[in-house]
Amino acid sequence: MPLSSKQWLGSILGLGSLLSLGSHVVMPHDVLAHPIGIPSGQTLFTIPESAQASQPTLIAQAIGVSGVWDTSEGQMTIQQQGSSVTATYTQDNGRIEGTLIGNVWEGFWSEDGSAQRCDTPINGRYHWGRIRFVFDGNAFQGTWSYCGEEPTRSWTGTRSGSGEAIRIPPVFNPPPNPSVTPINPPVVVAPPVTSIGGGWDTSEGQMTFQQQGSSVTATYTQDNGRIEGTMTGNVLEGFWSEDGSNRRCDTAINGRYHWGRIRFVFDGNSFQGTWSYCNDEPTLSWTGTRFSGDGSVVTPIAPAPSAAIAGAWNTSEGIMPLTLNGSTVTGYYSNDTQRIDGTLVGNTLDGYWSKNNSARSCDTLYNGRDHWGRIRFVFNGNSFTGVWGYCGEEPTRSWTGSR
């Protein structure tokens, strides 16, 4: 794999980040009136009537990156067709595959061998990782990682021949061909989760847990209390809600304004946990011991997350590349400051959007920002229907996408 002296590993398959020039990406809908630098009433391009008739998918403008590149990980030959980009390099028969949106290329590298072997294969090889390159003319600044980790290691390059940094016009892709099987990142199977079903005596009163795979609910008598969350290994994260409490939140969860976050870490028949009011970080103590049920380890009943959602999506809020690592999903839209993160269970993604600015500021922070809200996407092959909301309120506004 990469030169051992630099301990690199690079190559990719495609996701896409989205710094495309003039692309109008907003979330929620009413943040910007028109793309930055594009006068009102003007557009970057028009869609031919013939293309409209076949309902193509519009991909944002991408720059030209084809050619031979001298990189910090060796010489590389890049080939490009629209936003689809592949590269080969001699080190360990290396290959990169990914998607270029604007000047940002995201994807995966794979090799015959490297310093770290992944638990799952990609393109039949167990030595792979993620990459993210940002191009500026005939140079790029990039990062790479092993397996599904976030790319943090440096990878830079300059073009040495047979190519130029032209801007490629937008491409119209036909609807997906159901007879063609797409190349996707590997499916990472969720680890077994601890069984926590049964009755518990807790520092907040007696509680009954019910569990189906990784999905957990609990009820307790205090103010008609309820907990909902997701179990990952031995850790439960989610929300409590009650009819009344010492603090009323500004937004509602499940129709109630008295709620907060929880995080419980289980060890057999006991747990150490924390809770908070509203969307504050959980810091207040909540502990418990089980008096009925058992602490066996069970395999999740819910279907394993599918890697089929990884990649670039054209959505009602703009182009958005999604990354999947196990059941954890991240995505970016408009630019790297606007983010989605959540948990995928089966075909349903629940999580949050956050950004530096929006039409509404929340009273509490999420990821250090006061512009955020909840999302819920339900995927069906190459499309999804979803909803979003501001702050902690129930998501009701439409957000859809296809690829």
Same fold, 60-173 and 193-298: yes
pLDDT tens, position by position, 382-400: 889 999 999 888 888 999 9
Per-residue tokens: 277: 């009011």
Task: Average the pLDDT over each of 16-30, 173-187, 242-256, 302-316 and give the range with the smallest value.
Answer: 16-30
Number of H helices, E strands in the chain: 1, 30
Distance CA 273, CA 262 (A): 7
* Cα angle value 356/345/202 (rounded, 5°): 85
pTM score: 0.35
Residue 14 pLDDT greater than 80, yes or no: no
Distance CA 209, CA 86 (A): 49
Report the pLDDT value the prediction gives residue 100, as an integer from 0 to 100: 78
User: Region 94-112: what's the mean pLDDT?
Assistant: 85
Q: What is the band of 57 on the pLDDT scale with cuts at 50, 70, 90?
A: very low
The answer to whether 372 and 391 have CB atoms below 8 angstroms apart is yes
pLDDT tens, position by position, 276-287: 999 888 999 999
Report the pLDDT value the prediction gives residue 20, as an integer from 0 to 100: 37
Residue 194 pLDDT greater than 90, yes or no: no
Fold of the CATH domain 60-173: Porin (2.40.160)
Report the pLDDT value the prediction gives residue 277, as an integer from 0 to 100: 93
Question: Percent of the chain beyond pLDDT 70?
Answer: 72
Fold of the CATH domain 193-298: Porin (2.40.160)
The DSSP call for residue 53 is H
Q: What is the band of 25 on the pLDDT scale with cuts at 50, 70, 90?
A: very low
User: Region 242-260: what's the mean pLDDT?
Assistant: 87
User: Region 337-341: what's the mean pLDDT?
Assistant: 81
Distance CA 164, CA 231 (A): 50
Distance CA 278, CA 331 (A): 25
Question: What are the sequence ranges of the domains in the chain?
Answer: 60-173, 193-298, 307-316+339-402
